[in-house]
A = this chain, B = another copy of it.
Amino acid sequence: MAADEQGTPQNTSRDTQQGMTVAAFDAFCVEHLPFVAIYNFVTETLCTEGARVRLPADGRHLRPGGTICGPAQMALADFTLYAAILGRIGEVPLAVTTNLTTNFLRRPLPGDLIAEARLMKLGRRLAVGEIFIYSDGQDAPVSHVTGTYSIPPKDEATN
């Protein structure tokens, strides 16, 4: 829909933006996202399709039943989707979550959790993705999350 100077009409301007590398995203988080220090997230992969982030095991995230609490899973999912978006379109700090829906499927093991986010839509104003969370090394997901981010226009975002 947006103009594209390269003449590829099906591309929106989002597609021609430069995404962030893991190193750049890590530096960005240290500077701008203090809550990341609570969770010690490790961003393992950022690519065009999505992102993969690890939540290291930590006794503070446990809950009755010897499992990992829901808030730690939701924080991981929200962060992984944010990583996926910035890994695709570059540094847009003011991208904000508008909706996050989590279905908790199975009791996680009390070890590391892995989240894999994949963008289902990247529009001019809204990005929608889904995130699966796994206990490290397991096949069956412990939770499934869908999230929507509102993306400010590029000229606002770079101010």
Contacts and interface: CB of A to CB of B under 8 A. Distances in A.
Interface in A95-122: 96-107, 120-121
**Copies per complex of this chain:** 4
Contacts of A71: 35, 71, 74-75, 78-79
Contacts of A78: 70-71, 74
B105 A120 contact: yes
A141 interface: yes
Contacts of A125: 125, 150
A35 B64 contact: no
A4 to B, nearest CB: 17
Interface in A5-31: none
A97 B65 CA distance: 13
Contacts of A69: 33, 35
Contact of A35 (B63, B120, B144): B63
B148 A99 contact: yes
A75 to B, nearest CB: 3
A120 B100 contact: no
Interface of A: 32-35, 37-38, 59-65, 69-72, 74-75, 78-79, 93-94, 96-107, 120-121, 125-126, 128, 130, 141, 144, 146, 148, 150
13 contacts: A32-B63, A33-B64, A33-B69, A35-B69, A64-B94, A71-B75, A98-B104, A98-B148, A103-B128, A120-B144, A126-B150, A130-B144, A144-B146
